Structure 1
Amino acid sequence: MHFELTGEQRDLVARLRDSGPLLSTPDREAGGRSAWETAAKLGVTGLCLPEEHGGGGLGALDTALSFEALAQGGADPGLLFGLAAHLLACGIVLAEHAHGDVRADLVAGLCSGAVVAGNAMTEAQAGSDTSRIATTAVADGDSYLIDGTKSFVSNAGLADVYVTYAMTTPGGGHLGMSAFAVPANLPGVRVAEPLEKLGLTGCAAAVVEFTGCRVPRDHLLGAENAGSGVFAKSMVWERACLPAIFVGVMDHQLRRCVDHVRGRRQFGRRLGDFQAVSHRIAVMKQRLESSRLLMYRACWLIDRDDPGAGAAAALAKAAVAEAAVDNGVDAVKVFGARGYLAADGIGQQLLDALPLHIFSGTTDIQRELVVKGLGI
């Protein structure tokens, strides 16, 4: 088993880690476009998309390494989350399932940063159970009429296109769902005010309503009623690669904790000289490294088209979620009162980590996928 990165991978990681500060404070003016333009210049908006359309052509492991490096360098986790949604939940889908000119135009736009993508799957009554989505798409000549409401749409308001899932065979459950590329400027698309979140504020999220929205038939992604398969593959990529953001944050967080316990003194001793503190740091390191290895393994399996990649990605996401939240709590304890101050950012890292247990399928859902992978 080989753990060393190649020279090319080391160069990629070093370049993006050094570039992290350029993405540290998302510009919320003009819809945050300036931050995305910076990300596009760094090649982040097209990391894993085809080179023929201007993308980086990276596999899952190199994509994860890229997000980890940016977070290590201090890039805003919310902005990185939005970029990951753009790439993993949307870009992968568009590159593999869009057709003809629609594919070429949208994927090239995603790579250049001219087009921002948002994923519209979740609904008020359909979270982890995607078979319950109520949004419908009715064939009407050379178009589909889409009606429904999507919630928690990442990049909503900023996005130029929404990868949208709707029932083309009502009552068909997973076998009746289809995927569409819905341009945000079509009549019948309305984006509500951004949702106020506790964390990941660098990524806007909102409710998106579709009312009699006429979508050209050539914007169907894949085949009709094949949306579940389209969505499932994108989720394997998202579950494996998106947690890299939080692995990078944990790495940065741990370094700050080590510096703090080396420098701060209480009762005439360094904090790090107290075993209760030093052992807490050791456990934080253990969680970080073990979850990182599970993530790398899942990405490695994706790159090899291994049938076990889905279960491995689920296992990795669950591990990173638990590690990031537990390390976030421990970091606040290490910093004491300072850890609760907004200015130091330690408490915010905990708030940013909490949604890991929710998005891309809850941690409980990940465990169900692991169990199925074991044949139970």
Structure 2
Amino acid sequence: MSDIRTDAGTRMEALEERLGDPWDPANSAGFAAIVAADEHEETPEGGRAALDGFGILAEFVPSSLGGRLERVDHLVELMRSVYRRDPSLGLGHCSSSLLGAVNVWTAGSPEQRRYAADLLLGGNKISCAFHELAHGNDIGSVEFAATPADGRLLLNGRKESITNLDRADAVVFLARTDPAGGPRSNSQLFVPVSSLDPERTRFLPRFRSVGMRGVRLGGITVDDCPVDAAALLGARGTGMETIARAFQLTRIALPAMSTAMLDTALRVTLHHVLRRRLYGRGVADIPMVRTTLANAFADLLLCEAFAAAAARSLHVLPELGSVYAPAVKYLLAGVLLDAVEQLSLVMGAEFYRRDGEHAVFQKMTRDIKPVAFGHIARAACLSAMLPQLPVLARRAWRDAAPAPAALFATDSELPPLDLAGLRIAVGRQDGLAGTLGAALDDDLPAPLRPVVDAHARRLEMLAEACAGLRPRDLSIAASVEVRDLAAGYASVLAAAASVGTWQHATPGGFLARPEWLVAALTRLTGRAVGQPEDVPAEVEGALLEELLDRHDRTASFGVSARRYR
């Protein structure tokens, strides 16, 4: 493994260098190799080798344990270099180990944390075996059991659709340890695969998928398989509490990494339309095409602004991750899927091609679909947010102080990440909500005031509606109208994050200009009522000018605008 212990920016440049130019047909980690591997339901060998040489799994290990993980926003930005090339490589070869490891960092003993760190630093994988197909996202209803017997635990049951299970060196299981049920009936176990009795363990055939075809999804059945009682991760019965803390990171980070898929889809679309003529004119000059490109650019900036603020909130506002994390997953998944679908209309017949220089587009349209349901479904995100809304409305939204600058400024120092210290219920202040309200007290540019005011008024209406919600309104069977309140709150948070990003942008840079914010908030206003509006005509030109400039400079279309290969 490469020992790259330099600053995050240098590591991002080093990773880009290792992965090479994705458009180079001779690059073993480029788009051509990625599409060819995807046809065989694999990831490119050259990409895997480049990531292993970089020591990518060290990015998921806290620096206190010898790894490189210090800031969640830096981890996300670095991983976008992988996801923009091949999301299957990003999830299957990399991020799937994060899903298991965060539980160990959150609740593991010093010995378990050291063992997990050594595995990842050595390039070995950790799998996360929580889901059972019969229960979907209702992981609290697992039937997989761990029963005490003669000082050990006997595992019985079945886990399915688990990433990298056949390649993992250790597995984090979620198991029922109290057959009576209840909120403390489930526990987590951290088990070396080598300790599983092969006579009592059977690995299931690989599950095949439409998108993320290179990700190896497998399953396992165990029958009275003994494991050491010390495999318990945290105290018995605390499995769901650990998930509530640990997955705040992954429910922000994984959707945030996935914005790179929209970046690539937009880049490929630009590459196509800038070279094509139709009806005697350049396709890039057709009004509908220009508007679709501007819309996608505004959507991408919105998603990344929201994701960055939420990622930093795990350091700065740890009492709010329980609601910010599902809000990020819910909103980003919807926006990203819609944006890529609109770009496919511009691509036309080229969208369907599985060969040629634009073939990676059809792969991205398939690979982005699981963002809506993988790890946690969008509907489950709303269910996770609902019980917290009355508390927010009564205690955290009225006269809330704005979030500190560290939530938005990329060069701010952040407190250390403390996963075990994350709250599983919201606190008394909502910094993002406060940021939105405080912005109206500033001297906003004229085009901005009405769109910022629209979202601030939406928060006021949410506060009134949510304060009156009763416990029976907040269950999984909540009405569409009540669930819409949670969706509306996610929109308000995204608006506030975008406003804060604009306020704390580098002077003179594109993000310090109001045009992108007007575009993003206008799109978001329409999305909140089910019909995203096009970017206003008066700002469309500014967005397209910036988009084309970044295209020419091979720079990210997201918030960072960092140079790519």
Scaled by the length of structure 1, what TM-score is found?
0.90
Q: Residue type of the partner of 2:203?
A: V
Answer yes or no: is 1:15 the counterpart of 2:14: yes
Bigger Cα displacement from structure 2, 49-58 vs 311-320: 49-58
Match of 2:422 in 1: none
Write the distance in 2 (CA, Å) between the matches of 1:191 and 1:33: 24
Matches within 5 A, 1:175-214: 175-185=184-194, 186-187=196-197, 188-214=200-226
User: Which is further off, 175-184 or 19-28?
Assistant: 19-28
C-alpha deviations, 1:85-107, integer Å up to 9, x for none?
201x1111123323243432232
Give the match's secondary structure for 1:170: coil
Task: Tell me if 1:242 matches 2:254.
Answer: yes
> Structure 2 counterpart of 1:236, which letter?
Q
Rg larger for: 2
Residue 94 of structure 1 aligns with an amino acid whose one-letter code is: V
User: 1:359 pairs with 355, 371, 374, which one?
Assistant: 374
Among 114, 117, 126, the residue aligned to 1:104: 114
Comparing 204-213 with 52-61, which one deviates more in the overlay? 52-61
Which has the larger displacement, 183-192 or 205-214? Answer: 183-192
The answer to whether the Cα contact below 8 Å between 2:159 and 2:220 also exists between their aligned partners in 1 is yes
Q: Following TM superposition, by how much is the alpha carbon of 1:34 offset from its aligned partner in structure 2, in angstroms?
A: 8.0
SS in 1 for 2:162: strand
Shift in Å, 1:305: 4.8
- Distance 1:337-1:198 versus aligned 2 partners, 3 A rule: same
Which residue, 157, 174, 182 being the options, matches 1:165? 174
Distance 2:72 2:150 in 1: 39
Over 3 Å counting, the alpha-carbon distance change for 1:189 and 1:54 in structure 2 is: farther
- CA distance in structure 1 between the partners assigned to 2:363 and 2:206 by the alignment: 19
| TM-fit CA distance, 1:323 | 2.3
Q: Contact 1:130 / 1:174 at 8 angstroms: preserved in 2? A: no
What CA RMSD, in Å, does the superposition of the two structures yield over aligned residues?
Answer: 2.4
| Alpha-carbon distance in 2 for matches of 1:184, 1:30 | 23
Contact 2:108-2:233 at 8 Å conserved across structures: yes
In the alignment, the residues of structure 1 paired with residue 340 and residue 103 of structure 2 have an alpha-carbon distance, to the nearest angstrom, of 33
The 3 A distance-change label for structure 1 pair 296 and 157 is same
SS of residue in 1 equivalent to 2:15 = helix
Provide the residue aligned with 1:126 in structure 2.
135
Cα offset, 1:334, TM superposition: 1.6
Hey, which of these two has a bigger chunk of strand by percent? 1
* Aligned-partner Cα distance in 2 for 1:336–1:261: 10
**Are positions 1:136 and 2:151 aligned together?**
no
- Report the Cα offset of residue 19 of structure 1: 3.3
Contact between 1:149 and 1:209, CA under 8 Å: does it hold in 2?
Answer: yes
Question: Residue in 2 aligned with 1:281?
Answer: 293
CA contact (8 A) 2:261 2:368 kept: no
Indicate if the aligned counterparts of 2:58 and 2:67 stay in contact, CA closer than 8 A: yes
Q: Following the alignment from structure 2 to structure 1, what is the Cα–Cα distance between the partners of residues 325 and 305? A: 11
Q: Is the 8 A contact 2:201 2:223 kept in 1?
A: yes
Following superposition, the deviation at residue 31 of structure 1 comes to 10
- 1:145 aligned residue (134, 151, 154): 154
Amino acid of the structure 1 residue aligned with 2:106: E
Secondary structure at 2:183's aligned position in 1?
helix
- Report what 2:230 is aligned to: 218
Question: Aligned equivalents of 1:171 and 1:125: distance in 2?
Answer: 20
Counterpart AA for 1:104? R
Residue 372 in structure 1 maps to residue 387 in structure 2: yes
Please state if 1:319 is matched with 2:331.
yes
User: How far apart in 1 are the matches of 2:229 and 2:317?
Assistant: 30
Residues in 1 aligned to 2:153 and 2:45: alpha-carbon distance in whole angstroms: 30
* Alignment check: 8 A CA contact 2:59 2:67 kept: yes
Q: What's the CA shift for 1:40?
A: 3.5
CA distance change for structure 1 residues 134 and 302 in 2, over 3 Å: closer, same or farther? same
Matching residue of 1:79: 89
In structure 2, the partner of 1:3 is: none
Distance 1:175 1:54 in 2: 33
Shift in alpha-carbon separation, 1:37–1:103, aligned structure 2, 3 A: farther
Conserved 8 A contact 2:127-2:171:
yes
> Equivalent of 2:63, from 27, 38, 51?
51
Distance 1:173 1:155, change over 3 A: farther
Distance 1:373 1:286 in 2: 30
Percent of pairs with identical residues: 20
Q: Counterpart of 1:85 in structure 2: which amino acid?
A: S
Q: CA deviation at 1:36?
A: 5.0
Q: Give the alignment partner of residue 281 of structure 2, picking from 269, 276, 293.
A: 269
Q: Is the 8 A contact 2:106 2:246 kept in 1?
A: no
Deviation at 1:32, TM superposition (A): 8.8
TM-superposed deviation, 1:302: 0.9
Which deviations, in whole Å up to 9, do the C-alpha atoms of 1:217-249 show, x marking residues without a partner?
A: 111101101000112222211111112332112
Q: Residue 366 of structure 2: SS of its match in structure 1?
A: helix
Residue in structure 2 matching 1:349, options 340, 356, 364:
364
Cα distance in 2 for residues equivalent to 1:262 and 1:142: 68
State whether residues 43 and 56 of structure 1, in contact with CA within 8 Å, keep that contact through their aligned partners in structure 2.
no
Q: Per the alignment, do residues 29 and 195 of structure 1 end up closer, same or farther by CA in structure 2, a change over 3 Å counting?
A: closer
Q: 1:153 Cα deviation (Å)? A: 0.4
Unaligned runs of 5+ in 2: 1-5, 21-27, 391-465, 467-565
TM-score (structure 2 length as normaliser) = 0.61
Residue 368 of structure 1 deviates from its aligned partner by 2.5
1:69–1:345 CA distance, 2 compared to 1 (3 A):
closer
- Could you tell me which amino acid in structure 1 is paired with residue 367 of structure 2? D
